Amino acid sequence: MFGSVAAKIKDAEKIVFVTGAGISQESGISTFRGKDGYWRRYDPMQLATIEAFYENPKLVWEWYEDRRRTILAARPNAGHTAIAELAKYKEVIVLTQNIDGLHQRAGSRNVYELHGSIIRIKCTACTFVENITSGFDVLPPKCVCGSILRPDVVWFGEPLPQHVWADAIMHAQSCDVMVIAGTSLLVSPANSLPFYAKQNGATLIEVNPERTVMSDEMDLSLRQTSAAILPQLVSLFK
């Protein structure tokens, strides 16, 4: 399956995974850009911008509450658990665009959430941040300071958390193998991470049922799902 790059994988000291919505699709969480994706059914400009939030915070919160219930009901799949298991053999870093927390629930420890987390909230005015697992009696919820709370996710037009992004670049630049799993590589700046790795001479492996805009840059492209392929990656070390 991994052919000519198998030796490089086995010899690697550090493996970085860049993951997107596709890896969680098999856990029942819709992707954003696929044929059944969220953005096919909703206007992102009405749900995922700070302007939309301030215009109608109740609508945005209702949508995110619905998404959060779906996510909390989901379970990590074989792709998530394979990444966690690989950490028994190699240094493994996960740079994820997902906000669902499934990597952590599968057992991965070194996870950098580029786009935030749907199970965290933060205040729009003060420094309050907290994880949540239950719903709110009133939407939009208010902070103790009296300001509106919002999901701790990155919306369109907002920058990534700079400390998280700086660490992501550092890990991309220092890995031996980068596995890009379940992402279309259309979203900037996360789609620049493979280039940081390639500049360091890392082996690039793409796991995606469909061709992506960066397929030609890959050392190996595997046209299957993460749940099908990643357990086979772990088997190289058993």
Q: Is 115 part of the annotated catalytic residue set?
A: yes
- Give the bridge partners for 203, in sequence order: 177
Residue 57 annotated as binding site: no
> What distance in Å separates the CA atoms of residue 27 and residue 115, rounded to the nearest whole number?
19
Residue 27 annotated as binding site: no
User: Containing H/E element for 103?
Assistant: helix 102-106
Residue 123 annotated as binding site: yes
Name the residue with tokens 């000291």: 13
Residue 23 annotated as binding site: no
Cα dihedral 234, 98, 137, 62 sign: negative
Residue 131 annotated as binding site: no
Residue 67 annotated as binding site: yes
CA torsion angle 87 91 96 98 (round to 10):
20
Residue among 80, 103, 115, 171 flagged as catalytic:
115
Token pair recorded at residue 108: 């991965």
Residue 118 annotated as binding site: no
Contact 196, 169 (CB under 8 A): yes
* Overall residue count recorded for the chain in this entry: 238
Residue 208 annotated as binding site: yes
Annotated binding site: 64, 67, 97-100, 123, 126, 143, 145, 182-184, 208-210, 226
Annotated binding site for substrate: 64, 67
Return the active site residues.
115
Annotated binding site for NAD(+): 97-100, 182-184, 208-210, 226
Annotated binding site for Zn(2+): 123, 126, 143, 145
